[in-house]
Structure 1
Amino acid sequence: MIAKRSGRKSILANFGAFSQPKAEASDSFVPKDHSSPSGQPLARVGAGVIGATQRSLAELREERDSLRALVDAGGGSELDPNLIDPSPFPDRLPDDSDTEFEALKKLILDEGQKVPIQVRRHPISEGRYQVVYGHRRWRAALELGIKVRATVLSLSDSELVVAQGIENAARQDLSWIERALFAWRMDAAGIKARDIRAALSIDDPELARLRSVCRALPVDVIETIGRAPRVGRPRWVALASAVSEDPSALARVQRTLSSDKGLLLSSDERFKHALAAVRKPQPQSRDEKEIKGPAGRVVGKATFSSGDIKISIVTEYASAFSNFVEEELPMLMERFFVREGEG
C-alpha cells in the first residue's frame, strides 16, 4: 500500500512516480529526488492546477495512487517500435530543423536508450500500443531499426492526457500554439474540460483563449505556420481576432503561407508574415498643391504621397510642359543630389 502524502504538494509531485524525469536532448537519467545533476530543482506544475481541475484533494490523491500502481505494475519492456502508434492527442508540431533529433538518434545509437518511453495498450488494436510520452525516442528507435525500451500501462484517454500534460509541464518546452492544438484535439475527442485544465496546468480563462484561437484559425493554417516558439499568446490572439473580424483576412494568410518564399522561412518568420497579411494597410497621406500660371490662373496640380508624385496640367499646356519636364529632369536630379550631399 502506498502511503498518501499531504495534499499541499504540487500535482507533479503527486504524480512523481508516474512521470519519468528525462531530457529529450540528452536522454539521460535524473536523480530520484527530482533535482538536476547540478542540484537545481526540476520545473514543477503549480499548485493552481488543484483549483483548475475543480476536484477534491482526496480525489486527486486517489487518482495519483491509482496511476502510480499502474506504473509499478507495468515494469519495463523492449518493444518493436513498428507495433507502436503515436498518441491520439498530438502535442507537437514539426521543428524547423532536425538537428536536435539527429543528435538524439546518434546518442541512442552510441550509448543506448537510457530512459524508457511510456506507452499504453492500444484501446482498439490488439497487440499494438500508443505512446503516452517519449515520441522522439520512439521515432529514433523506429528510424534506427532497433527495439525501444518502454513502460507499458493501461490508461483511459483522460489518464493519458493528464500524464502527457504533466510530462510536458516538466519539460516546459511546448510553444503556446502547440498547447492550443493539444487542448483543441482533446476537446474534439470529448475529454472533459477539468482534465484538459489538469493536463495543461491552466485555468478557465486560458482554456477559453486556447479554444478561441483554434476556432478562428483552421488547423492546416496553424500547422503550416508551425511551432513558432518565440510567438506567445498575445500575437496568436491578435491573428485570430483579425481573421474573425475580416472575412477576407484568412485568404490573405493562406496566400502568404503558400508562396515559395513562405515555405523557406522559419516558423517564427512565417507567423510574422501571416500577421502582416491580416493587418489592413493604412491609407497613405497625400498632399495636393495647385500649379498656377503668371496671372494666378490654376493650370494644373501636383499630388505628393510616399514614393509617388503625380503632376497633371490642363490640355493647352500639357504637351509643351511634358517636353519641358523631360528636358529639365536631368538637371533637376543633379540639383537634388547636390542638396543631399551626394553631388
Structure 2
Amino acid sequence: MSESSRKSIVASFGLLSAELENSQTTDQQLEPPAQSSGNRVGAGVIGAAHRAIDDIRSERDRLKALVEAGGAAAVRDLDPSLVDPSPYPDRLPDDDAASFEVFKRSIETEGQMVPVQVRKHTSSPGRYQIVYGHRRWLAAKQLDRPVRAIEVEISDLDLVLAQGIENASRQDLTWIERALFASRMDGAGIKPRHIYAALSIEDAELARMRSVYRMIPVDIIEAIGRAPKIGRLRWLDLARTVAGDPGTLDALRAALVKKGDAAETSDQRFQRALNIIKPVSSGRREPSPITDKSGTKLGALSMTSKEVRISAEGSLGLEFLKFVEGELPGLAERFARQREQ
C-alpha cells in the first residue's frame, strides 16, 4: 500500500465507523462536518478538508464492503485483555455511567456490529493499541467476550491526527476535553497547523487552550473531569486564578481529594474547587454602624472591593459627613507620605 493511500485510509477510519453505525438505520451519504459559525477556520484548512473528504469517499465504499462482508483477512477476534487504550486519550470519564450500560447491553444482545480499529503496540510485542472504538472494546472486556477488530498500520502522528479529525465532528466533547487533546498533540510534537486542522480551530483558540493546560496540570484537570457545563471562559478564569502558583495548586489538589456529595457532578466539582481558591463573594458587606465614644449613632459604613459609602444617621449625621469631607485632603496627604516612606 502506498504512503498516500495509507494516509487517506487513516483519515477515513473515524468517519468509517460513524458511517457503518449510521448504515444500520439509513443510507445517508457521508458529508463533511458542518463548521460552527463561532469556530471558523482558514480557507487553506477548509480546502484541505474537502480534498480529504474526496479521498475518504473514494475509499469508504471499498472499506465498508470489506467489513460488511466479514473479510476474514481484515476483521479478527482479539482477546480484549491484549488490547490497550490509545496512548493519546481524548475522553475523560463521564459523570453518568447509565448510557454506557445501555450501550453494553446492546452489544450483549445484538453483538458487536462495528469492529474496533487497532494497531500493533509500539513497545509491547503481542499487544495492540486502540485507534478507534474504546467503548466497544471496554464493553467486550466487561462482558468477557472477544472484541472484533481491524488491524491497521499507523504512526503516532497519523493516529493523533486521525483521532482529532473524528473528534471535530463529535458534538459531545467538552471544551476541556478538546483542550486536553490539543495538549497531548502538543506534547507529541505535532505542529500547530496540524492541530488547527485536526480540531477545526484557529491559532487564537489554540492559544487559549494552551493558557489553560499550561497553567493547570493534567492531574488536576482529570480530577475535575469533563465538566460539560463549564465553558472556555470559566476554565480561563480558573487558570488565571491558579497562575501556576505551587501553593494554589496544592490547595486545589487538596480540595479535589476531599469527596463532595455522593452525587457530585464534574461541573459541581469544578465549582467547589474554584470556591476553595477564589471564594464566592457578593462584593458588598453589611453596613457597619458609626458611633462616637458615647454611643451616639452618626452614620453607617458600606464597603465593596471598589467603593466606600458613608450614610448620615441621627441628629449629628449630616454634621459628621461635613467633618469627614473636610478631613479628606489631609488623609490624602498622609496616604502620599506613607507611600513615599
- With normalisation by structure 2, the TM-score equals 0.69
Q: How does 1:190-229 map to 2 (within 5 A)?
A: 190-229=189-228
The residue that corresponds to 2:24 in the other structure is 29
Q: Name the counterpart of 2:290.
A: 289
Instruction: Write the mapping of 1:76-115 to structure 2, written as runs, cut at 5 A.
Output: 76-115=75-114
Distance 1:144 1:102, change over 3 A: same
Higher-Rg structure is 1
Q: CA deviation at 1:137?
A: 0.6
Partners of 2:105 and 2:255 in 1: how far apart? 37
With over 3 angstroms needed to count, the CA separation of the structure-2 counterparts of 1:102 and 1:61, relative to structure 1, is: closer
Return the alpha-carbon distance in structure 2 between the equivalents of residues 156 and 29 of structure 1: 31
Name the amino acid aligned to 2:276.
Answer: A
1:253 alignment counterpart: 252
Deviation at 1:17, TM superposition (A): 6.5
Letter in 2 for 1:84: V
- Structure 1 residues 97 and 18 mapped into 2: Cα distance closer, same or farther (>3 Å)? closer
1:121 equivalent in alignment to 2:120: yes
Going from structure 1 to structure 2, the CA distance change for 1:299 and 1:172 (only over 3 Å counts) comes to closer
What is the match of residue 327 of structure 2? none
Give the equivalent residue in structure 2 for 1:319: none
CA deviation digits over 1:39-98, x for unaligned, max 9? xx7844679656475996898589869987996798322222122110010111111122
Post-superposition Cα deviations, 1:289-322, rounded to whole Å, max 9, x if no partner, equal 21565xxxx589998889xxxxxxxxxxxxxxxx
> Is the CA contact 2:11–2:52 (under 8 Å) kept in the aligned structure 1?
no
In the superposition, the TM-score normalised over structure 1's length comes to 0.69
Shift of 1:207: 1.1
SS of equivalent residue, structure 2 residue 243: helix
**SS state at 2:164 partner:** helix
Which residue pairs with 2:164 in the alignment?
Answer: 165
- 1:19 alignment partner in structure 2: 15
Q: Tell me, what secondary structure is at the counterpart of 2:112?
A: coil
CA apart distance, 1:259: 2.1
Q: Which residue of 2 aligns with 1:333?
A: none
Which sections of structure 1, spanning at least 5 residues, go unmatched? 5-11, 36-40, 307-343
The answer on whether the counterparts of 2:215 and 2:244 sit within 8 Å (CA) in structure 1 is no
Q: Secondary structure at the match of 2:15?
A: coil
- Report the Cα distance in structure 2 between the residues aligned to 1:176 and 1:96, rounded to whole angstroms: 16
Letter in 1 for 2:171: Q
Q: Deviations over 1:137-173 (max 9, x none)?
A: 1011111111111222111112111221222233321
CA distance in 1 between partners of 2:299 and 2:258 (Å): 38
Q: Deviations over 1:97-149 (max 9, x none)?
A: 22111111111011101111111222333332211111011011111111111
- Counting aligned pairs with the same residue, the percent is 44
CA–CA distance in structure 2, aligned partners of residues 285 and 52 of structure 1: 58
Change (3 A) 1:181 1:67: farther
Cα deviation, residue 236, structure 1:
0.7
Confirm or deny: 8 A CA contact 1:216 1:243 kept in the other structure: yes
CA distance in 2, matches of 1:246, 1:284: 29
Give, as a single letter, the amino acid of the residue that structure 2 aligns with 1:128. R
Residues of 2 paired with 1:223 and 1:18: CA distance? 24
Q: Report the Cα distance in structure 1 between the residues aligned to 2:291 and 2:35, rounded to whole angstroms.
A: 69
Q: Distance in 1 between matches of 2:147 and 2:258?
A: 40
RMSD in angstroms over aligned alpha carbons? 4.3
Correspondence for 2:230: 231
Aligned to 1:329: none
Distance, in Å, in 2 between the alignment partners of 1:158 and 1:262 is 41
Contact 2:117–2:152 at 8 Å: present in 1 too?
yes
How far, CA to CA, are the matches of 1:235 and 1:143 in structure 2? 36
Q: In the alignment, residue 34 of structure 1 is paired with which amino acid?
A: Q
Task: Decide whether aligned partners of structure 1 residues 246 and 152 sit closer, same or farther in structure 2, where only a CA change above 3 A counts.
Answer: closer
Contact 1:53-1:198 at 8 Å conserved across structures: yes
Distance in 2 (alpha carbons) for counterparts of 1:204 and 1:30? 38
Q: Which runs of 5+ in 2 are unaligned?
A: 304-341
Q: Kindly report structure 1 stretches of 4+ aligned residues shifted beyond 4 Å.
A: 14-18, 41-74, 245-248, 280-283, 298-306
Task: Letter of the 2:229 partner, please give it.
Answer: R
Is 2:11–2:56's contact at 8 Å kept on the other side of the alignment? Answer: yes
Looking at structure 1, the residues matched to 262 and 218 of structure 2 have their Cα atoms a distance apart, in angstroms, of: 17
Give the aligned residue type for 2:29: H
Residue of structure 1 equivalent to 2:324 = none
Shift in alpha-carbon separation, 1:53–1:111, aligned structure 2, 3 A: same
Q: 1:239-268 CA deviation, whole Å, 9 max, x = no partner?
A: 111111876543443332222326751101
The 8 Å contact of residues 291 and 302 in structure 1, kept in 2 or not, is answered as no
